[in-house]
């Protein structure tokens, strides 16, 4: 007996509601084994390969390259000889019992007696097996027949997967039970909530016209670019930021790096030295390693420094995060930053390495600019910006000399501290850049 199974894009976590198909790894007619990657997708966090938890013959691919696929929609259909589907889920991916499905399968969907689910549960490389993966919707179809959609029984339930959708609805005062989702099986998507939150147009008002422009190019804000645009907009909307800056003589810092990079010793990057200075400065000024809980009206100071750093990739700007940066030496920071940068540029960073930062270091000097007023990486409270290091005339030991000078800028959330704290932090960073030996007191 041939059993047909449909594998849907699982709940990706981190508030993600969908992914874009980058390329298919299988063709219709291919034989796949359990956990074999079948498609590569790009989320707002990373580019990952999706393994199918079923084995068999691929009978259909759902979606084209470049297409946005919502969570819960079918990716591939697999037919397996003699396979039996596992027991029907008792709830939806958001934990609501029976949402959009009856609690038990219809007689035509019941598995053979004693059959067990052969799927592995490893629904997405880099995300790991989660409880949500075991609760995803399943649809089966008889061989050669149409997909069976059992009629819902009992009161209508709300079909929501993403916690982000629930939060937006709550903040906008929208009752999800009043909405009809536009996603698969009535799944409520973020667009549904945002559409409901928009005010209704005035009666008889003409639709807003977008004048066409010859030769214009429209680039969809989706994937990493869309997530970054949303985050930056939210930062500017919610955070009352301010910026202070100072020029510093980095000549001694460069000399210290040359001395550390002796032949045969592990290499230390300039960015890692700046990161080490940041962790020392945050130990002195913990006010800046914080976030603001707007609902509780509280400032939350964080015990560990999870240091984000800006990395330019072919797919746009990404901010990998070094966990517990305050515990790492300059050598350890160099190794971890190198690993994260290489993975980011290869599109292989899992979401866990791109989230959870508490402070960000932005070296925009690599673009040949001196200064900037960076936008804070929400929900963090501060970001240190570093410009290019360039030779300039500088007063040194009572004389004018050519020295390597860098401009440092600190953008900070004015809710977590005043200018005195921010200035003290930035001054300490500048002092360490000018006199790296000051860091010896922090060891």
* Catalytic residue chosen out of the listed positions 62, 149, 396, 414: 414
Q: At what angle do helices 419-434 and 270-284 cross, to 10 degrees?
A: 140
What is the rounded distance in angstroms from the CA atom of residue 280 to the CA atom of residue 409?
17
What is the rounded distance in angstroms from the CA atom of residue 325 to the CA atom of residue 279?
7
Report the b/e string of 135-173 with b at 16+ CB within 10 A.
Answer: bbbbbbbeeeeeeeebebeeeebbbbbbeebbebbeeee
Burial of 29 (0-12, 13-18, 19+ CB in 10 A): exposed
End-to-end Cα spacing for the chain = 68
What is the maximum alpha-carbon separation in the chain? 91
Tell me, rounded to whole angstroms, the distance of Cα 175 from its chain centroid: 27
Give yes or no: 414 in active site. Answer: yes
DSSP structure class, residue 102 = -
The residue behind tokens 């050519």 is 402
105: left (phi over 0), alpha (psi -120 to 50) or beta: beta
Catalytic residues, by residue number, are 414
């Amino acid at each position: 007996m041939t059993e047909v199974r449909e594998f849907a894009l699982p709940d990706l976590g981190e508030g993600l509601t969908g992914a874009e198909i980058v390329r298919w790894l299988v063709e219709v007619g291919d034989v796949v084994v359990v956990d074999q990657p079948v498609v590569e997708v790009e989320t707002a966090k990373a580019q990952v390969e999706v393994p199918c938890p079923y084995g068999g013959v691929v009978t259909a691919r759902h979606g084209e390259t470049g297409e946005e696929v919502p969570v819960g929609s079918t990716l591939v259909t697999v037919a397996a000889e003699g396979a039996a589907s596992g027991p029907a889920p008792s709830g939806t991916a958001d934990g609501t019992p029976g949402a959009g499905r009856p609690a038990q399968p219809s007689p035509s969907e019941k598995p053979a007696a004693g059959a067990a689910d052969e799927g592995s549960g490893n629904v997405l490389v880099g995300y790991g097996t989660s409880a949500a993966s075991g609760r995803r919707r399943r649809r089966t179809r008889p061989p050669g027949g149409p997909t069976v959609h059992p009629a819902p029984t009992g009161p209508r339930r709300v079909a929501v997967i993403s916690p982000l959708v629930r939060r937006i609805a709550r903040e906008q005062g929208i009752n999800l039970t009043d909405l009809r989702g536009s996603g698969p099986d009535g799944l409520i998507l973020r667009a549904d909530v945002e559409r409901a939150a928009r005010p209704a147009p005035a009666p008889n008002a003409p639709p807003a016209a977008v004048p066409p422009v010859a030769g214009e190019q429209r680039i969809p804000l989706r994937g990493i670019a869309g997530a970054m645009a949303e985050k930056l907009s939210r930062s500017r909307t919610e955070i009352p930021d301010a910026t202070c800056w100072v020029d510093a003589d980095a000549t001694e810092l460069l000399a210290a790096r040359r001395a550390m990079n002796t032949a045969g010793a592990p290499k230390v990057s300039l960015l890692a030295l700046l990161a080490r200075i940041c962790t020392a400065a945050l130990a002195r000024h913990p006010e800046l390693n914080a976030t603001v809980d707007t609902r509780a009206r509280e400032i939350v100071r964080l015990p560990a420094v999870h240091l984000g750093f800006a990395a330019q990739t072919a797919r746009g700007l990404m901010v990998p995060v070094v966990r517990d940066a305050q515990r790492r030496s300059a050598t350890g920071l160099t190794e971890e930053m190198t690993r994260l940068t290489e993975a980011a540029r290869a599109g292989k960073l899992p979401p866990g390495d791109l989230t959870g930062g508490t402070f960000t270091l932005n070296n925009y000097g690599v673009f040949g600019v001196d200064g900037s007023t960076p936008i804070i990486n929400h929900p963090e409270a501060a970001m240190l910006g570093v410009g290019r290091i360039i030779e300039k005339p500088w007063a040194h030991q009572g004389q004018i000399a050519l020295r390597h000078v860098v401009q440092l800028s600190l953008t900070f959330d004015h809710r977590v501290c005043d200018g005195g704290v921010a200035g003290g932090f930035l001054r300490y960073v500048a002092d360490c850049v000018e006199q790296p030996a000051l860091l010896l007191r922090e060891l």
